[in-house]
Chains A and B, each alone.
Chain A
Amino acid sequence: RPSDTLTTLKTESETLKTKLEEERAKLHDVELHQVAEKIEALGQFVMKTRRTLKGHGNKVLCMDWCKDKRRIVSSSQDGKVIVWDAFTTNKEHAVTMPCTWVMACAYAPSGCAVACGGLDNKCSVYPLSLDKNENLAAKKKSVAMHTNYLSACCFTNSDMQILTSSGDGTCALWDVESGQMLQSFHGHAADVLCLDLAPSETGNTFVSGGCDKKACVWDMRTGQCIQSFETHESDINSVRYYPSGDAFASGSDDATCRLYDLRADREVAIYSKESIIFGTSSVDFSLSGRLLFGGYNDYTINVWDVLKGTRVSILFGHENRVSTLRVSPDGTAFCSGSWDHTLRVTNRFSYARLLVNWSGSHSVITPL
């Protein structure tokens, strides 16, 4: 409109923002934890690390599970990408990237390839060969090209498309075979640090978080930002959909995790404590959505009761920042990666059915 001036537009912008907040506030009739008051509180949680994966020579930056629930891909500051069998802790494949700080890695749905990237500003796909002697780097395919670092990547529902986020402030959808950009997503005002794809039943959307403290929900077909949320006080390092697809959680440098409901279009819970002052690097839900696991820069993992808003457990073990955390596809365990160069697979401590360990003439029940 030719009569639009910058001032008029800015005023309209402010008015619309206020109106948006008013509309959201009208529907804010109750808090999530109030709705959850009558539910039984979760008992004491004891979790145990079952496997420690050692082999990276520097900070672990990212990891992802294979759909087979046992294989894991991880990437490191030293440029190495390793595929592990988490049951046996064996390393099955290793690739050396031509760059350091491989900040993103992902397993293909078929289990036959991995994608990774970082300071090279690209996302590359490596088909995994059954032949251990084959040089994986030879079959490397460059798919995505950004103008700044790659912060996150994930395959969509097939091996054919990859979604990426970048320090250049954009996200993009790519065709793996041709390397063509299918859609780009503009709207963040600074580096995009993370993304997560909606569960397939919920349709073609994904959520991203960035250094602009905003989380945005995007329509993958149109490139349109559908909803945005700006309540964090610092960078959003991690976003993850609630298993039903109706909400997502975020973890931020402001030392909080938050839950945003998509249908209520607002933040519905904050997971924080005065004693937690270090940033959250990564978050993920347990299968039912009742638990939220957060990896923190103070080396700990906090486990939150999503409904009641309380912390149910704090896990120690890593000797440096927890940088990445994912629950396994069948929800039996979660894996955390750290600046201490290791990955740890942890799950719920449970007593064995009566296990008898003969020690001389004694019988001892041994918890595993």
Chain B
Amino acid sequence: MFRFRRALLQTSANSLRTSGIMSNNNASSSSVAVAQKAVKQLRLEAKIRRINVSQAATDLKNFCLQNAHKDPLLVGVPSSDNPFRPPKSCGLL
């Protein structure tokens, strides 16, 4: 898939150029438009409100701990509650 995507990357790069999204080879006016878009986007991203990693990490930790008991892959389930337990087969002697 990796090589497959690389080959397609070339094709997609070509199709993007024709549609004008990537315009390395095109007229300078569209290069300016692309650069203007990039600056506008960066200004937007710079403005967002952020919290400390310590706060964010604590919230992630608390979510995990609060929900741990109902996480079947974490705590395991008794076989009787396991919908994927091996199908029971009865052998009649």
A contact set with B: CB distance below 8 Å: 4-6, 9-10, 12-13, 16-17, 19-20, 23-24, 27-32, 34-36, 39, 42, 50-51, 69-70, 86-87, 101, 147-149, 167-169, 186-187, 189-191, 193, 211, 224-228, 235, 242-244, 246-247, 253, 261, 263-266, 268, 279, 281, 286-291, 297, 306-307, 321, 323, 327, 330-334, 345, 347-353, 355, 368
CA gap between A286 and B59 in the complex, in Å: 17
Interface flags for B60-81 (1: CB within 8 Å of A; 0: not) read: 1101111110111111111110
Interface of A is mostly: loop
Determine whether the beta carbon of A13 is less than 8 Å from that of B38. Answer: yes
Interface of B is mostly: helix
Q: Which residues of A contact B68 (CB under 8 A)?
A: 288, 290
Determine whether the beta carbon of B84 is less than 8 Å from that of A288. Answer: no
Q: Which residues of B contact A24 (CB under 8 A)?
A: 50
B54 within 8 A of A: yes
Determine whether the beta carbon of B50 is less than 8 Å from that of A347. Answer: no
Determine whether the beta carbon of A69 is less than 8 Å from that of B79. Answer: no
Determine whether the beta carbon of B51 is less than 8 Å from that of A263. Answer: yes
Closest to A261 in B: B56
**Set A189, A279, A351: member contacting B22, Cβ < 8 A:** A189
Q: Which residues of A contact B53 (CB under 8 A)?
A: 27-32, 261, 264, 266, 268
Q: Which residues of A contact B75 (CB under 8 A)?
A: 348
Closest to B85 in A: A368
- Known contacts being A191-B5, A289-B64, is A353 close to B79, with CB within 8 Å? yes
Determine whether the beta carbon of A27 is less than 8 Å from that of B84. Answer: no
Determine whether the beta carbon of B50 is less than 8 Å from that of A265. Answer: yes
B90 within 8 A of A: no
- Known contacts being A187-B41, A307-B60, A332-B82, is A323 close to B1, with CB within 8 Å? yes
Closest to B60 in A: A247
**Set A148, A279, A290: member contacting B8, Cβ < 8 A:** A148
Determine whether the beta carbon of A307 is less than 8 Å from that of B61. Answer: yes
**Set B12, B50, B65, B86: member contacting A263, Cβ < 8 A:** B50
**Set A101, A264, A281: member contacting B52, Cβ < 8 A:** A264
**Set B9, B41, B55, B66: member contacting A225, Cβ < 8 A:** B41
Q: Which residues of A contact B9 (CB under 8 A)?
A: 167, 190-191, 211
Show 13 A/B contacts (Cβ-Cβ < 8 Å), sorted by A: A4-B35, A13-B38, A69-B83, A167-B11, A186-B21, A242-B63, A261-B56, A263-B51, A266-B50, A288-B67, A348-B75, A350-B77, A353-B78
Determine whether the beta carbon of B12 is less than 8 Å from that of A190. Answer: yes
Residue of B19, B48, B53, B71 contacting most chain A CB atoms (<10 Å) = B53
| Minimum Cβ distance to chain A for residue B63 (Å) | 5
Q: Which residues of B contact A10 (CB under 8 A)?
A: 35
CA gap between A217 and B78 in the complex, in Å: 39
| Minimum Cβ distance to chain A for residue B45 (Å) | 6
Determine whether the beta carbon of B15 is less than 8 Å from that of A368. Answer: no
- Known contacts being A27-B53, A211-B9, is A333 close to B35, with CB within 8 Å? no
Given contacts A263-B55, A350-B78, 17 further A-B contacts (CB under 8 A): A4-B32, A13-B39, A32-B53, A32-B57, A50-B82, A50-B86, A169-B12, A191-B8, A211-B9, A224-B44, A265-B48, A279-B2, A332-B72, A332-B82, A347-B72, A350-B76, A353-B78
CA gap between A139 and B9 in the complex, in Å: 33
Q: Which residues of B contact A39 (CB under 8 A)?
A: 61, 65
B58 within 8 A of A: yes
B36 within 8 A of A: yes
Q: Which 4 A-B pairs have the closest CB atoms?
A: A288-B67, A50-B84, A9-B35, A288-B71
CA gap between A10 and B32 in the complex, in Å: 9
B89 within 8 A of A: no
Q: Which residues of B contact A353 (CB under 8 A)?
A: 78-80
Determine whether the beta carbon of B42 is less than 8 Å from that of A17. Answer: yes
Closest to A9 in B: B35
Determine whether the beta carbon of A4 is less than 8 Å from that of B85. Answer: no
CA gap between A352 and B45 in the complex, in Å: 52
Q: Which residues of B contact A279 (CB under 8 A)?
A: 2
Determine whether the beta carbon of A29 is less than 8 Å from that of B84. Answer: no
